[in-house]
Structure 1
Amino acid sequence: MADETAATETGAPQASHEIPDSENNGAKRKKLLSILAIVVVVVAILWGLWYFLTQAGRVHTDNAYVGADSAQVTALVPGPVKEVRVAGTQAVKKGDILVILDDADQRIALADAEAALRLARQHYSQADATADAARARVAARGADIAQAKARLRDANATVERARAELARRESIAGTGAVSGEELTAARAALASASAARDLAAAGIASAEATRGSASGDLGAAEAIVRGTTIDTAPDVAAAQARLEKARLDLARTVLRAPVDGIVTNRAVQVGQRIAAGAPIMVIVPIGTAYVDANFKESQFGDIRIGQPVELTSDYYGGDVVYRGKVVGIAGGTGAAFSLIPAQNATGNWVKVVQRLPVRIALDPEQLKAHPLRVGLSMEATIDTRGN
């Protein structure tokens, strides 16, 4: 009994010490939980504030790729390749010589066209001279007609005189004052004058016929040169056009870069004979590159043309942030314009969220400082808050 009392007396103080320790631990736990709750709330508030200030109203996609309106270089005239001055991946400027073709055939064609032009000018000058000669012949035939008419008038006068002489002699033939010989001579003179008159009349007809022939020649000659000059004559103009084409074909034997950019897909070698229209290389204008970002259809509620865009590329990493703006939205999804469009009117239809391409223009200065390449992947974030 004494032992139990001693044990009780000994245990009483121990229980009195354990109760305050557990209360202290509970208080500390509650304090820590309160502090943790406050920290969580503060973090949540800060995150919400950060999201509202920086992320709210922004749509993001990593399905974006760099593109450019590449220029395909093609040969416009056929011929063997004489010289290739660029290599793949080489940067070129607009107007730089890329390829030179052998121009022997084009030079011969140019010489032939120049000769044809000179010949056409010569023919025109000849036709003009022929027209002038025809005019002179018509004028000469007019003078011949005037002379023939004058001879006819003289012949008529001679006939009248001969007729009067014959009539006078015949009136006095019965008196014996005129011999038979004189009467015969008067009759012969009248016949001769009549014949001369008929010949003069025939001369007029002949001169008029000759003038008609000359007038026809004049019309034919004038038809070639009427209303034209040596530069506007059809034959001369056609020859001039052939000459210009020959010069153009000769100039086209030197192929130049149409734009600034990088040479890719070079498919031409020295000695190779290329046909007109054959593609030989592609020039990629990286200075005017753009981005096609494929956003989900559910993200287009606030996307508008002109909105600012931030972009990053794996090529440079997150340290380089490109600034751009939305310049266009495609007229249809990629699936709609694919070679074999999806047929959803079947029994095995499953809804798939579609993506619509958005064209984003980049800052030229940033492209100059950090050039991109076609096909690189990008991450794009459109700020729609200013909508």
Structure 2
Amino acid sequence: MNRKIALTLAVPLLLAGTYGAWHWWSVARFEESTDNAYVEADITMISPRVEGHLAAVEVVENQMVRAGEVLARLDDRDLRAKADQARARRDAAAASIANIDSRLTLEGALIRQAEANVASAQAEQRRAGADAQRYTALAGREFASQQKLATTQADAQKAGAALAKAQAALVAERDQLSVLSTERSKAEAALQEAKAALDLAENDLDKSTIRAPIDGVVGSSGARVGQFVKAGAQMMSLVPVQDAYITANFKETQIGRLRVGQPVELTIDAYPGLVVTGKIDSLSPASGAQFSLLPPENATGNFTKIVQRVPVRIALPKDGPLAGRLRPGLSVEAHVDTRQQGRDLIGIAKADITIPQQVAVRP
């Protein structure tokens, strides 16, 4: 009887052992797994870029929002007044330039008038000089009186003085043109400064309306109407649940066979019985301990070796059964099938790795 019972038990045990050995040989020995894995997402902290009192909060906790939707509004009366003030300064600077342009147009006409006066004075000087020369010759022959000679000579001197006066006026008008050109350049700089101030004021006014930068779910909202908020203070968080991914912390003894693109079977504690297939997306450039607040210093005398863990990012399918349903922080178990080689995690092909040959040393 005992022999029959033993034989009866030995057969299923033998079959189970055979199946276990076959499963280990064909599957289990190629699998790396860890339960130190969690759902994560690139959470965006929402902060105002200008300070002020909250006039309205347009969203509530756990609300799904789209990029560009209004989350909150600040009281913008002061900012609107500053924008109007900057706009008035811009208009005044533009009017100043228009006034200078009008003066430049007038100055051009005055310069042409001064040039005409110079031409007239030159003609008068030539006439008076010619008369003076003729009467000088006639007076030398006593065909003209000395009084007439003196009069023509005085007229020639007066014509020369008038020409000098007209030429000086022309130079002054041209100098005034240079002064106006300089004033216009200064006014243009003032206009650019006023435009920049207006842009800043309008930007601050636009910043009083706080919008969602990404699609996501509102969380950790502490915004209340009437609350005074400072620039940079956290008001709420946006969680892009649709772009959630898995971070699995594998032991350093497990990452040797992990490659980008290898399939990963994921089981989430929140959804028992459901298996999701993802792919390895990337490997952290350092172990998790190196990014901690106080990284370990292994050069100390009390060194104790501890197996380190390296974060591995696992991408989830966009159209998977849990798309949009995962929440950061959920626990996950990850199982990687290393039979598929994928791509090297550090981006170095095996063919590029050269192994130095041993050099034989002669005795």
Are the equivalent residues in 2 in contact too, given 1:291–1:362 (CA < 8 A)? yes
TM-score (norm 1): 0.82
The alpha-carbon distance between structure 1 residues 151 and 275, as it changes in their structure 2 partners (threshold 3 A), is: same
Alpha-carbon offset, residue 367 of structure 1: 6.3
Alpha-carbon offset, residue 34 of structure 1: 4.2
Amino acid at match of 1:290: Y
Q: Deviation string for 1:153-201 (max 9, x for gaps)?
A: 111122122212212227xxxxxxxxxxxx7xx1111111111111111
State the SS of the aligned residue for 2:108.
helix
Q: Deviation string for 1:295-354 (max 9, x for gaps)?
A: 01111121011111111111112x222221111111111222222222223333222111
Alpha-carbon offset, residue 265 of structure 1: 1.9
Q: Which residue number in structure 1 is paired with residue 155 of structure 2?
A: 196
Alpha-carbon offset, residue 54 of structure 1: 4.0
Amino acid at match of 2:241: I
- Alignment match of 2:233 (pick from 275, 278, 294): 278
Are the equivalent residues in 1 in contact too, given 2:242–2:324 (CA < 8 A)? no
Q: Deviation string for 1:195-244 (max 9, x for gaps)?
A: 11111111111111111111111112234557x9x9xx433333333323
| Alpha-carbon separation, structure 2, partners of 1:52 and 1:224 | 89
**Which protein has the larger Cα radius of gyration, Structure 1 or Structure 2?**
1
Alignment of 1:7-26 (within 5 A): none
Alpha-carbon offset, residue 128 of structure 1: 1.2
- Alignment match of 1:205 (pick from 164, 168, 172): 164
| Alpha-carbon separation, structure 2, partners of 1:363 and 1:62 | 20
Q: Which residue number in structure 2 is paired with residue 330 of structure 1?
A: 284
The alpha-carbon distance between structure 1 residues 260 and 238, as it changes in their structure 2 partners (threshold 3 A), is: same
The alpha-carbon distance between structure 1 residues 240 and 347, as it changes in their structure 2 partners (threshold 3 A), is: closer
Alpha-carbon offset, residue 375 of structure 1: 1.4
Q: Which residue number in structure 2 is paired with residue 315 of structure 1?
A: 270
1:102 aligns with 2:57: no
- Alignment match of 1:157 (pick from 130, 140, 144): 130
Q: Which residue number in structure 1 is paired with residue 351 of structure 2?
A: none
| Alpha-carbon separation, structure 2, partners of 1:316 and 1:31 | 45
Identity of matched residues, %: 36
Are the equivalent residues in 2 in contact too, given 1:81–1:272 (CA < 8 A)? yes
State the SS of the aligned residue for 2:55.
strand
Are the equivalent residues in 1 in contact too, given 2:132–2:156 (CA < 8 A)? yes
| Alpha-carbon separation, structure 1, partners of 2:240 and 2:127 | 94
Alignment of 1:108-127 (within 5 A): 108-127=81-100
Are the equivalent residues in 1 in contact too, given 2:100–2:183 (CA < 8 A)? yes
- Alignment match of 1:353 (pick from 299, 307, 328): 307
The RMSD of aligned alpha carbons is 2.2
Are the equivalent residues in 2 in contact too, given 1:287–1:368 (CA < 8 A)? no
State the SS of the aligned residue for 1:169.
coil
TM-score (norm 2): 0.87
Q: Which residue number in structure 1 is paired with residue 104 of structure 2?
A: 131
Q: Which residue number in structure 2 is paired with residue 11 of structure 1?
A: none
| Alpha-carbon separation, structure 2, partners of 1:300 and 1:81 | 50
Q: Which residue number in structure 2 is paired with residue 67 of structure 1?
A: 40
Are the equivalent residues in 1 in contact too, given 2:317–2:323 (CA < 8 A)? no
| Alpha-carbon separation, structure 1, partners of 2:222 and 2:2 | 77
1:386 aligns with 2:347: no
Q: Deviation string for 1:238-270 (max 9, x for gaps)?
A: 333332332222222111111121212212211
Amino acid at match of 1:187: Q
Are the equivalent residues in 1 in contact too, given 2:30–2:337 (CA < 8 A)? yes
Amino acid at match of 1:333: S
